[in-house]
Amino acid sequence: MAKVKKDKKLYLLFLWHMHQPVYKDPFTGAYKLPWVFLHAIKDYSEMLKYYEIFPIKATFNFVPSLLDQLKDYQSTECNDETLSVIKKPVNMLSLNERQYIIPRLFWANENTMIKPLGRYYEIYLKYKNNSSESLNEKEILDVEVMFLISWTGTFIREESSFIKKLIHKQRDYTEDEKSELIRILHEKIKYIFTQLQNLSNNIEISVTPYFHPILPLLENMESAKEVLPDIELPENRLYLGEDAEWHVEEAVNIYETYFGEKPKGVWPAEGSVSQDILKYFNKAGFTWAATDEDILAKSIGTSFGNIGKKLCLYERHYIEINGKRLFLFFRDKQLSDLIGFKYSSEDPKKAADDFISRLRVIYDSCDFSPLVPVILDGENAWEYYPNNARMFFERLYEELSDKTWLQTSTMSEAVNIKETEEHNLDKIIAGSWIRGDFATWVGHSEKNTAWEKLFDTKTIFNKNKTQLNKKQVSEVDRLLKIAEGSDWFWWYGDDHHTNQQDILDSLFRSHLQAVYKYMNLSIPEDLHKPIHSEEPTGIILPKNTITPVIDGKISDFFEYMGAGYCDMSQDLSSMHMEKGFFKELYWGFDSRYLYLAVFTHQSTQINGTKVALEIQNNKTIKTEFNLNKNDLTVHKPKDLDIDHAYDEILEIKISLSYFFGDTAPIRLSAVKNGNILDLIPTYDFIHLPVKKEYLQEWAI
């Protein structure tokens, strides 16, 4: 056994990735969606604030196009469609404006953001039952203020006596109070840039290529076949390597404009890498780049099925390019996903302690100083935690500050940590943080259609750009590069869902339409047609009632005939988590019970897996099922009218008395040996309709 180094420490490398796509309409200059503003006041400043309070370090990754949008939002004059309507006095709103704004005022998590503000929840229930037409002017004004407060970070709430008074007041707000609240929130966005400057001793700021493109697909779309040889690629595809290089170089240039120096590190969009694109990082002068553990596993020809095999993940890796070392960090998927997806539904103290205990296992397992990269979205997860994850982070950061065997570090500092093992990589296999492939951005018919429209527009531009002046060429080129961003392709297809899908589809096509306008050419008719299909995919609603026998198998052909169906390999949400356990769900009901038949991907090694069922009503009810093959007993949790049995499938029977209203909100998760295997949906709950009178009206 190797001798453990006396000065061994575990170095925890947090990288918080801050990103939103470009929401600005190229024709009107208005922001179509308010997410940059809302995440700025709730998440960006809040995440940085912890590093003012605690003696810890981390890397914050900002996408350049996000920095540009944050700069716009520093001003109260920023042209945002949602905020413009909110700023308008309610008694001056037209009927169309009311119908536009009221649904948007409930774009907040019901449990963690709406319910805690009593008046907000009261009006939400009225809206939910009677739609926007039932709200009067006083209620609309109250909801406008409460909506903004619900998206305001906990530290901003505490630091502003004015916002404290608004929260205490709860109702009967004035237009002047609303205006002052909006002014304060814009001021807080200015402070984000001050924080980034002031925290230079605690944080490192890294960067992503400018408009967040999947660089390997721009450089060579055939790279998608490196891991998925049978993936369907768009026809007539273009080489966009020059664009890929521009995204990298321009990111460095704009970073220097904002921060007065060149960045040392890069998180490529979606952790997407290939051997070919590393040359751009080398040329741009980056010291390090980061991606996912799946890339390392595939590059060295192994899998990380257990802690022993995974220890190499925590070494200091580098690859030589033209005689120069580029250090590579590979995110620990399990640790990152626990924070991003699982801990939000757990007790904050227990969740933080669980995270620390997992770090201790890594520390005890290594005979060198391990580097543990934990890399995840720095904005979207926290609305699913109580109190914006404040209790979780305070406990976690207190514990991290207190451990002598553990030290937090920036990525650039980790490059120079000599006590770790060093590993020279021969090559990097192409892939991303999602399954180690590119299927999230290419391969589906909708995704490929979007690429083909981009390629067609680029081809037309190349043929006509000699007729444009220098400024026009620059403007058109920028429009095309915005359209190369990963987010547009993320939303196409059926693997992710958002209620704003039609707006995002329209925004993507608007950037291509604007190219034709600049060139004084007719906009092709197909660019006016949505790429995204409005037809439901992955879910089929029930046709009739069912009453199956709960025995862990399909014991009769007709048991689930006419039942509803859900493809559980899809995310059913805006966020992405690896799906590797749940496969399909059949569901239905009779006059007393809701029935679930859960099929899994795995036919072996299921023993020891725990499946948790959460039911949402006035409070969340949670129960766990232990899956063991050949266990034919029908189990009934104490004090709950819920039966389950597991043999070939998991069958669950739930009393309808737990559900109020027309739907049954449920959520399923699978955990084995403390490791999260799957969540369905990734966030929120599946809302299954359970009213008989709707059966004949439901459409597939």
Residue 502 or 674, more confident: 502
Name the DSSP class of 492.
Answer: S
Query: What is residue 15's predicted lDDT score, i.e. its pLDDT?
Result: 98
CB 531 within 8 A of CB 505: yes
Query: What is residue 632's predicted lDDT score, i.e. its pLDDT?
Result: 62
Confidence band, pLDDT 50/70/90 cuts, at residue 252: very high
Of the listed ranges 218-222, 398-402, 670-674, 694-698, the least confidently predicted one is 694-698
Asked whether residue 356 is assigned to any structural domain, the reply reads: yes
Tell me the pLDDT tens digit for each residue of 132-165. 678 999 999 999 999 999 999 999 999 999 999 9
| Residues 6+ positions from 329 with CB-CB distance below 8 Å | 13, 15, 288, 289, 290, 291, 317, 371, 373, 375, 411, 414
Q: Are residues 312 and 450 in the same domain?
A: no
Q: What is the CATH classification number for the domain harbouring 300?
A: 3.20.110.10
Query: What is residue 571's predicted lDDT score, i.e. its pLDDT?
Result: 53
Query: What is residue 197's predicted lDDT score, i.e. its pLDDT?
Result: 94
Query: What is residue 637's predicted lDDT score, i.e. its pLDDT?
Result: 73
Quick check: helix, strand or coil at residue 590?
Answer: coil
Q: Are residues 405 and 276 in the same domain?
A: yes
Q: Are residues 502 and 600 in the same domain?
A: no
Q: Are residues 414 and 323 in the same domain?
A: yes
Q: Are residues 394 and 470 in the same domain?
A: no
How high is the mean pLDDT of the chain? 90
Q: Are residues 273 and 321 in the same domain?
A: yes
Residue 525: other Cβ atoms inside 10 A: 7
Whole-model pTM: value is 0.85
pLDDT at 700 over 90: no
Quick check: helix, strand or coil at residue 681?
Answer: coil
Which whole number is the average pLDDT over 562-586?
69
Q: Are residues 249 and 393 in the same domain?
A: yes
Alpha carbon of 270 to those of 250, 266, 434, 486: distances in Å?
Answer: 18, 11, 8, 8
Residue 324: other Cβ atoms inside 10 A: 12
- What distance, in Å, lies between the first and last C-alpha atoms of the chain? 61
Rg (CA), the chain: 26
Which whole number is the average pLDDT over 102-113?
94
Which residues form the domain of 349? 10-17+208-424
Asked whether residue 353 is assigned to any structural domain, the reply reads: yes
Nearest alpha carbon to residue 628 among 552, 679, 538: 552
Q: What is the CATH classification number for the domain harbouring 667?
A: 2.60.40.10
Q: Are residues 29 and 146 in the same domain?
A: yes
Asked whether residue 237 is assigned to any structural domain, the reply reads: yes
Query: What is residue 521's predicted lDDT score, i.e. its pLDDT?
Result: 95
Q: Are residues 483 and 561 in the same domain?
A: no
> Where is the domain boundary, 424, 457, 473?
424
Structure tokens at 660: 């109020």
Asked whether residue 534 is assigned to any structural domain, the reply reads: no
Asked whether residue 489 is assigned to any structural domain, the reply reads: yes
pLDDT at 2 over 50: no
Asked whether residue 5 is assigned to any structural domain, the reply reads: no
Tell me the pLDDT tens digit for each residue of 170-212. 999 999 999 999 999 999 999 999 999 999 999 999 999 999 9
Q: Are residues 274 and 217 in the same domain?
A: yes
**Total structural domains within the chain:** 4
Q: Are residues 327 and 357 in the same domain?
A: yes
Which whole number is the average pLDDT over 59-74?
98
Residue type, 5: K
Confidence band, pLDDT 50/70/90 cuts, at residue 502: very high
Asked whether residue 241 is assigned to any structural domain, the reply reads: yes
Query: What is residue 135's predicted lDDT score, i.e. its pLDDT?
Result: 92
Query: What is residue 573's predicted lDDT score, i.e. its pLDDT?
Result: 47
Asked whether residue 612 is assigned to any structural domain, the reply reads: yes
Q: Are residues 93 and 121 in the same domain?
A: yes
What is the DSSP code string of 172-233?
---HHHHHHHHHHHHHHHHHHHHHHHHTTTTEEEEE--TT-B-HHHHH-GGGGGGT-TT---
Residue with tokens 């994850």: 389
Tell me the pLDDT tens digit for each residue of 213-248. 999 999 999 999 999 999 999 998 999 999 999 999
Greatest distance between any 2 Cα atoms in the chain:
77
Residue 99: other Cβ atoms inside 10 A: 13
Query: What is residue 185's predicted lDDT score, i.e. its pLDDT?
Result: 98
> Where is the domain boundary, 198, 216, 251?
198
Residues in the chain: 700
Which whole number is the average pLDDT over 318-343?
94
pLDDT at 697 over 90: no
> Where is the domain boundary, 528, 562, 587?
528
pLDDT at 691 over 80: no
